[in-house]
Structure 1
Amino acid sequence: MSDLLERLRRRGWRLTAQRRVVAEVLEGDHVHLTADEVHTRAVARLPEISRATVYNTLRELVSQGELLEVSTDGRAKRYDPNAHRPHHHLLCTRCGSIRDVRPTGDPLSDLPQSQTFGFTVSEVEVTYRGICPNCPA
């Protein structure tokens, strides 16, 4: 479960009604919403919230490291509130649904030193692709 709202409170981030609604929309497991999806859900809770406010709030949360931007296969960016727990993504190549996964092992240590080409590697992004059980085979 995302703890985004609690993290923002601890940070002392000014939680206006609009910012709070955006954070609430992003709460939950396996949340990977597009900006438009965030806006649609936010409007259902707070009809006067503007698209610009949603986009500005998302941009600010990404810049603060409170949201991850997930881009897959040229689709719209998605926003992941699970920014403080290491994880990878499982992507359905048909419908685009995304799930957070936490496989065992350390993908950083799986890269042989001879394959770093002198880079100091600081992070790894892994996306597993397949067909979800909701999509016909």
Structure 2
Amino acid sequence: MDKSDRLAAFLERMKRKGKRLTPQRLAIVQAVLAHGGHPTVEQIHHEILAAYPTTSLATVYKTVSLLKEEKEILELEFGERGNRYDAIRPRPHPHMVCTRCGTILDLELAGLDADVARLAQETGFEVESHRFDIFGICPACRNMG
């Protein structure tokens, strides 16, 4: 599903649930979808300030929280480095993370879902979510010395 289809589907779900769709909330959703990477709340806030200069950081946090509840974004927690959000692939998937610059790359790992299901069956766990991150130094940082 492309970004415009995802936006339309999200807006329709929000209307059905009686959620308010303010211009600021719509701008936040569009900014998250348009980012193409793994933005922070602060980056999203910065993106919409030109069009909506009175939008508070709290409004962005509340909207991101709503998106997370609705499973429209995947939250990636990195402790002191802060949280990042993935709207392109809002389901659990592996990431490669640079420990110097914070770059995050999405990865495909064939068979991961099957392995998670197998492990759940073997252990009796009911898996709610999973996360697989690989940490290292990206090529750009390695080339800088």
Please tell me the TM-score bracket, short chain as reference: 0.7 to 0.9
The answer on 1:69 being equivalent to 2:98 is: no
Letter in structure 1 aligned against 2:133: T
Unaligned runs of 5+ in 1: none
Q: Would you say 1:53 and 2:67 are equivalent positions?
A: no
Q: CA distance change for structure 1 residues 107 and 131 in 2, over 3 Å: closer, same or farther?
A: farther
Change beyond 3 A, Cα 1:65–1:124: same
Could you list the runs of 5+ residues in structure 2 that have no partner in the other structure?
Answer: none
Structure 1 length as normaliser, TM-score? 0.79
Matched residue count: 137
Distance of 1:20 and 1:56 partners within structure 2: 13
Q: Which of 82, 92, 95 is the aligned partner of 2:98?
A: 92
Residue 5 of structure 1 corresponds to 7
Match status 1:132 vs 2:134: no
Preserved CA contact (<8 Å) 1:32 1:78: yes
Higher relative contact order (CA 8 A, sep 6+): 1
State whether structure 2 residue 26 is matched by structure 1 residue 20: yes
- Of all paired residues, the percent bearing the same amino acid is 35
Cα distance, 1:121–1:108 mapped onto 2, change above 3 Å: farther
Q: Which amino acid aligns with 1:127?
A: D
Q: Does 1:33 align with 2:46?
A: no
